[in-house]
């Protein structure tokens, strides 16, 4: 007699907000860094010495999709698949996305980016609400990774 073990189903929720100011960069310029594959290639990636892009597609419009798939030097494959739900040029982007590790869905999140004028520059506010699935224990790694990516955005905007 054979038995199959059903996977343990669970969900853990997490919410975080990251704010950054860019003193001499307009809200439209910060927004534009999100609005094309060329712009995102400048900052929305993992460290290039440890990770290679396998696939990147982007259809930046309400209802459009974005996909980024990469392979770490360890062989681990990560996948980011997003759908855009709200885009107000120069002001706001809202998308939902799922993450996979080696094909296993680990999370589904809602990400909101607000671009607010602040003097001659911009205040960026990122808020993410995540559902971490089936035993995937995030322990703050999504927030740490997002902070690293936002730091790369700052370097891209200043460079």
> In this structure, what are the phi and psi dihedrals at residue 35, rounded to the nearest 5 degrees?
-90, 0
Give domain status of residue 1, yes or no. Answer: no
Give domain status of residue 105, yes or no. Answer: yes
The answer to whether residue 11 scores a pLDDT higher than 80 is yes
Give domain status of residue 85, yes or no. Answer: yes
Please give the model's pTM, rounded to 2 decimal places: 0.91
66-96 per-position pLDDT tens digit: 999 999 999 999 999 999 999 999 999 999 9
18-60 per-position pLDDT tens digit: 999 999 999 999 999 999 999 999 999 877 778 899 999 999 9
Range of the structural domain that residue 55 is part of: 11-158
pLDDT in the model for residue 151: 94
Give domain status of residue 2, yes or no. Answer: no
Q: Count the domains in the chain.
A: 1
CATH assignment at residue 27: 3.30.530.20
Say if residues 111 and 127 touch (Cβ distance below 8 Å): yes
Give domain status of residue 5, yes or no. Answer: no
Tokens of 24: 């001499």
Give domain status of residue 6, yes or no. Answer: no
Give domain status of residue 81, yes or no. Answer: yes
The CA-based dihedral angle spanning residues 141, 144, 146, 148, taken in that order and rounded to the nearest 10 degrees = -130
Give domain status of residue 125, yes or no. Answer: yes
Distance, CA of 94 to CA of 14 (rounded, Å): 17
């Amino acid at each position: 007699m054979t038995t199959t073990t059903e996977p343990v189903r669970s969900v853990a929720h997490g919410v975080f907000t990251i704010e950054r100011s860019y003193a001499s960069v307009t809200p439209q310029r910060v927004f534009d860094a999100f609005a094309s594959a060329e712009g995102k290639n400048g900052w929305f990636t993992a460290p290039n010495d440890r990770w290679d892009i396998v696939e990147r597609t982007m259809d930046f419009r309400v209802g459009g999709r974005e996909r980024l798939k990469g392979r770490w030097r360890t062989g681990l494959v990560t996948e980011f698949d997003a759908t855009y739900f709200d885009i107000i040029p120069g002001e706001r982007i809202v998308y939902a996305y799922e993450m996979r590790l080696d094909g296993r869905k680990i999370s589904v999140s809602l990400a909101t980016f607000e671009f607010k004028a602040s003097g001659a520059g911009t205040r960026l506010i990122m808020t993410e609400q995540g559902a971490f699935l089936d035993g995937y224990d995030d322990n703050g790694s999504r927030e740490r990774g997002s902070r690293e990516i936002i730091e790369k955005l700052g370097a891209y905007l200043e460079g």
